[in-house]
Structure 1
Amino acid sequence: MLPALTGQSPESLATWLKEAGEPAFRAAQILEWVWKKKVTSYDAMTNLPATLRSKLAEVFRLTSLEHSTTQGSADTTRKFLFRLHDGRYVESVLIPANPALYGEKSDRRTLCVSSQVGCAYGCKFCASGLAGFTRNLDASEIAGQVLAAEQLSGERVDSLVFMGMGEPMANLDNLLAAISLITGEKTLHLGARHLTISTSGLVPQIKKLAEHPQQIRLAISLHGATDEVRQQIMPVNKKWPVAELFEALDYWNSRKNQKLTLEYILIQDVNDSLEQAAILAKKARKLNAKVNLIPYNTVEGLEWKRPPNNHCKAFQQVLQNAGVTANLRLEKGHDIDAACGQLRLKQETAEGIIEAPAKR
């Protein structure tokens, strides 16, 4: 399988051009065609000699993703399903800042990006891990989701959240290579402050990322304020319990200027007690972190339920009364299987790639 051109850094492309006997200035032209003009064929690179276009086609695939399906919803959220070279699938979700009104487009768009095919961490609310872990995505497959979303939507992506399929911190090297492409001046040129990495709580990787020079934002998939509650939802908590996780977050705060976000999915009769809210408020205030509250999004194959809206608001009120910034996200995309991994799971089950997962 040929490597993808969308995985080549400016440096690696310059090296290849030199070895191919081509002038160095061609690198900037190629990168502009790929990342700025977003062409879908080598023939469209009209200021390159035909011989160079032929060389490129012989050595590189133009992209590592093949668009399979787009699902759009009434609130203009769109989910993209992409087929990979090995026949597996990965998905991305494009989310507007606000629902479109009177036919107008939202002024800001966030893309939720996947980092793995499947997931090994088995968070109990998530469809990504229902069929287990297959493999890491490479840099071209991660960054390529952003490029493809812009091509398909015709819109600029303003911010990214790496909280789609997979555990980004378990694929940190490829993720950072992709981020270099996403933030590079000659490539997508999206500011690092507009990127958020979400993790289930891999303590060593949190500390490693804290040393990374770019001011990337960090979100913690918490979902329980105590070990007793969190371990019902997050198996990773057995390896890195709440106390170790929060020690790593203290270290993050000592190295970064970006405010932490604690993600908390509200699951009825599991983690939504007002006692948990009070404990969460204390921990969030100590970290100076904001909290995103997300009522559980029903996933086929899982039996948990979404709390009533009035109870979600009561949970939020406990946090706000304690001086914590707490947003209650009534998330978009219910009608397009927008929870992580659902569309990919349906597609791979339909094709017989995986068996339908049993309920858990």
Structure 2
Amino acid sequence: MDRVRTGLELLVSAPKAGRRRVGLVTNPTGVLPDLTAAAPALLAAGVPVTTVFGPEHGLRGTAQAGGGEGDTVDPVTGLPVLDTYQRTGGELDALVASSGVDALVFDVCDVGARFYTYVWTMYDLMGSAARLGLPFTVLDRPNPIGGAVAEGPVLDPAFASFVGRAPLPVRHGLTPGEIALSVNRSLGCELEVVPMEGWRREWHFDRTGLPWVMPSANMPTPDTALVYPGTGLLEGVNAAEGRGTTRPFELVGAPYADGRFAAALNDLGLPGVRFRDTWFTPTFGRHAGVVVRGAQLHVTDRAAFLPVLTGVSVLHVLRALYPDDFACEPFLDLLWGSASLREHLEAGRDPRGLCPPPGPPRGELLYD
């Protein structure tokens, strides 16, 4: 099997001189192929990392969604770790300035969905770098669900938030480095991307030859990442997205669902997926401790599978079968990037037409 060489591996093999104090933005996914973490790997290569910055879930990945680990010290390197979560604008600028770093380096794996927050931490820190006059380097990593297809609507800027700062589709098909190059047109920081070697756009993560490290507490496998751009939308309605189970985002349902749910989803004939009627009890999160009837997604053909269309179809079936119980929440607008999905569901209209046909990703593409 061919193996991808990440930006981190390439930088470690040929470190650049001249930077005095480097701030490293990373989490458990920032590793070499031998699983050496980014901070000790860069220090061993002579890169003068002096501060580590943690995104949502933290440097160690211990925090659940919507949380960070706070400011602490990395027990491996002894470096200070500063928590960037929920810090933006002037507050984030002050945090970076207080660290005394001369440059920022970003090494975090994304999962290919616009509402996953790591690339927006990157975006916010690029803004800080521009305002503070610091160079910003992205050590690129694969998009684990492939980079050949983009799917779903582009974000309406009126709905920009930490689950989407810039106009990308829901499944964007880009790498972190490509997103950085695309958004830097408006940010204007001194940006460098260290591209990968050997990655092909059509590859899913199992083709990369790299070790999978959980990007966050509820993203245990590449299978989770594949369905997440669709079933992650359930976080904006009163249904269960599978958090608190061993198959988050692959198990979906609601306490008010019944055996018609999985059958109706299968009747839609969605490409590349089948649904199995099942029950589950989340141990935390929404509907914790409650028996939920629902369905497990079984992806049968990942090349044909359309996660965004599938997720919208799940919401459509929940609304159609259980109109008196199903309810949308304001967060759905931020996940979708506009009010259109919520408005269709609340009006009882079929929202599947809101999904444009899938196509190639758009932006500053680095790879064939």
TM-score with structure 1 setting the length:
0.30
Query: Which protein has the bigger helix share?
Result: 1
Q: Indicate the structure whose relative CO is greater, using CA pairs within 8 Å and at least 6 residues apart.
A: 2
